[in-house]
A and B are shown apart, each in its own frame.
Chain A
Amino acid sequence: MRIIKTADIRDKIAQLSQQACIKVDKKITDAFAKSYESEKNPVAKYVFEQLIENYKIAETENIPICQDTGMVTMFVTIGQDVAFKGEAMEKMIQEGIRIGYREGFLRKSIVNDPIERVNTGDNTPAVIHYELVEGDVFNVVIVPKGAGCENMSRIAMLKPADGLPVIEKFVVDAVRDAWANPCPPLFIGVGIGGNFEKVAFLAKKALLLPFDERSETPYIAKLENDLLDEINDLDIGPQGFGGQTTALGVRVLSYPTHIASLPVAVNISCHAMRHIEFSL
């Protein structure tokens, strides 16, 4: 049995939530540079110029990439041979966010109630997903995600007979209808299968997969490629002004489902796809 102090979890979250908001994976900024070269549309080129400079300023001057530092989603993976010591984990995770958002001068964007809408003042609560696995691992992925792109996400309960063509249309329609709202260039996460809540979870989890890789399942890899091509043919372009770079990646996750169901969900991320991960 391995013992982990919940105070250590809190401290790590406080530190890394700040880092997540000022710096993204280098692969993303490299993709901007590549797109800048390949874009022919002058306004699209101008947008990439600004994005490249923005990410540089954010990192060197410690200013959040985007003012919407999001509602935090947290994926916590716990090995069954791990035990925890100290105050309740849930409480310490939220405390980590509270400290991180205060010390990092990040925006507090959470309201206490969907109708009464009073700001909680500390960006909590985060949405936390726990997964129990074998062994003694402990891993956390912190995802501060803005509302502009989250609001453009969608779910549908299709008919099994609909199959891949309707799934494809559903995803492409969601991106077309969203147009510039979710701040393209985008990353697209798609979930297929499971049930109503599982498919939404899969779509968000798909955004954590490396955007430049493809599924090991051949039909899913093909779906990822086809969707990326179709989306980039929409001529939405960065910020919706036209261009060939509407999405930089599409990833798909699937799960077994009921004989009568074909759930599908699409979770859209803006270019500021902020993830950070740690293990203890």
Chain B
Amino acid sequence: MARLNIKTPLTKDKIEKLKAGDIILLNGTIYSARDAAHKRIMQLIEEGADLPFPIKDQIIYYMGPTPAREGKIIGSAGPTTSYRMDSFTPKLIEMGLAASIGKGSRSTEVVNALKANKAVYLSAVGGAGALLSKRIRSVKIIAFEDLGAEAVRKLGVEEFPLIVAIDSYGTSLFER
């Protein structure tokens, strides 16, 4: 069980080194998107329209925060359950998505896509939204503002604590 400091973008050379069970502290940029935003992103892909952010080597965080108090940039900001995004994820991985961050296990289709395209699935601790919010240093809504908590946000993170749950070799921490 290694403890690694990782910087985004998460290029293939970095992904190859990650093993299920590793603990990583992530630094750089990630993008939040959950159920409703995924639906819209898939629509944009179908239409061949521009996407809110580049997919290649990037990381999507399944998260919808509580509102920020005065003087704060974000509220509680932990992961949501990932399986609800399973039907969208393989397509995004094929387009070059490096990682998704959520909680809970993934479908066989997602695991196969991770293996085939050298991508990873990372888990944040579900229900640790207060702690995780402190590791977010910048927040900018970049798409679908009307979705409120579900809008797409560009997040700058520092030492964001994650666990490699399924690595690019298909090894999963959820399997016994």
Contact = CB atoms under 8 A, between A and B. Distances in A.
Nearest to B82: A181
A126 interface: no
Given A43-B163, A46-B23, A242-B173, A107 B126 contact: no
A51 B126 CA distance: 9
Contacts of A69: 66, 76
Interface stretch (A134-142, A219-227, A233-241, A258-266): A233-241
A105 interface: yes
Contact of A239 (B36, B63, B126, B133): B126
B130 interface: yes
Contacts of A61: 130
A162 B176 CA distance: 29
- Of the candidates B23, B69, B77, B104, the one having the most CB atoms from chain A within 10 angstroms of its own CB is B104
B174 A180 contact: yes
Interface string B98-111: 00000111000000
Contact of B66 (A46, A64, A180, A242): A64
Contacts of B67: 105-107
- If over half of B's interface residues share one DSSP class (helix, strand or loop), that class is named, otherwise mixed; here it is loop
B174 A240 contact: yes
A42 B173 contact: no
Contact of A241 (B36, B133, B173): B173
Nearest to B131: A54
A178 to B, nearest CB: 9
A63 B81 contact: no
A235 B104 contact: no
Interface in B126-143: 126-134
Contacts of B96: none
Contact of A65 (B81, B130, B173): B130
Interface in B84-132: 103-105, 123, 125-132
Contacts of A47: 125
Interface string A41-67: 011001100110111011001111111
A11 interface: no
A119 B131 contact: no
Contacts of A10: none
Interface in B5-56: 21, 23, 36
B144 interface: no
A241 B149 contact: no
A64 B130 CA distance: 6
A64 B65 CA distance: 10
Nearest to B1: A42
A204 interface: no
27 contacts: A43-B23, A50-B161, A54-B125, A54-B128, A55-B130, A57-B134, A63-B130, A64-B129, A66-B126, A67-B64, A67-B65, A68-B78, A68-B80, A69-B76, A106-B67, A107-B64, A119-B148, A148-B104, A148-B126, A181-B81, A183-B127, A239-B126, A239-B163, A241-B21, A242-B176, A270-B126, A270-B127
Interface of B: 1, 21, 23, 36, 63-69, 75-78, 80-81, 83, 103-105, 123, 125-134, 148-149, 161, 163, 165, 173-174, 176
Given A180-B123, A272-B127, 12 more contacts: A46-B23, A51-B125, A53-B128, A61-B130, A66-B130, A67-B63, A148-B80, A179-B104, A179-B174, A180-B126, A183-B127, A240-B173
